Amino acid sequence: MKRTFADLHLRLNGKDSAATQLILNKAEALGYQLISVPCQPEARMEDITKLKSVCNEAGMDFASRVDLRPRTQNELLSQLRKFRRKFEVICVLCENKDVARQAAKDRRVDLVSFPLLDFRSRFFDRAEAELASSSLATLEVDIKPLLVLEGPARVRLLSCLRRETLVARDFHLPVVVSSGVSEMLLLRKPREMAALASLFDFEEDALLDAVSVNPLAIVRRNREKLDRGFVAPGIRVIKEGDDC
């Protein structure tokens, strides 16, 4: 069965329309059918709609995304209340343990990401995975650091990622592999992304799911929830009016 490939973390400079168009054309040529681009939380809907239109013109579907970087649990809860209905994908950048724990157990969070490269500042462990497995959170792994780091820094990061993805697998927690890149030269084909992720000791099907099935499931689930006819999972308003 043919797969639909997605990159949920392609970074674009919305102010540079020419560079944006080149990157989008390259992504489409490499085989991506859906991309997601982090937007500013305060982004206007017309700006998001314009970016979606540009992606559609390049032959790809577009999912709006916001990256939240809260400092406390309360700040995270406030941001989720404010932005959950605005974006199709919500990622929480976890830079302390309290935020990581809250993000893992909150069903409004789609992706948990650990951007700090210092292994002593990464908080994804078995407790985190157990919380996330009971919610809807998915572990996101960006490939970019593996492409740009060298020497001991790359080795240490790879060791962290292997440990974290193995913990996720133990708790049947989905993993999404994204690019995290903003430069065209760093873009890789979806299967090349999966090949890089093979360093995490996943089986082939699980690797391909991380760049296809898992990210697509997040977008489809949230589009259903954001639809005006949505009431609850499996329940939709088909028709409204006095004659119903």
Structural domain includes residue 241: no
pLDDT given for residue 231 in this prediction: 47
* 3-class secondary-structure state, position 6: strand
Structural domain includes residue 243: no
Cα angle: 107, vertex 41, 211; to 5 degrees: 55
pLDDT given for residue 2 in this prediction: 86
Structural domain includes residue 85: yes
Q: Starting from the edge strand earliest in sequence, which strands make up the sheet with 61-68, in order?
A: 5-7, 32-39, 61-68, 89-93, 111-113, 138-142, 175-178
Structural domain includes residue 107: yes
Structural domain includes residue 81: yes
Residue by residue, pLDDT tens for the chain (244 residues) are 689 999 999 998 777 788 889 999 999 999 999 999 999 999 999 989 999 999 999 999 999 999 999 999 999 999 999 999 999 999 999 999 999 999 999 999 999 999 877 767 788 999 999 999 999 899 999 999 999 999 998 999 899 999 999 999 999 999 999 999 999 999 999 999 999 888 887 888 999 999 999 999 999 999 998 876 554 555 666 666 666 5
pLDDT given for residue 204 in this prediction: 84
- The total domain count for the chain is 1
- Residue-range definition of the domain harbouring residue 141: 5-236
Structural domain includes residue 201: yes
| Cβ proximity of 89 and 115 under 8 Å | no
Structural domain includes residue 225: yes
Amino acid code (one letter) for 170? D
CA atoms within 13 A on the CB side of 46: 0
Structural domain includes residue 138: yes
CATH number of the domain within which 154 lies? 3.20.20.140
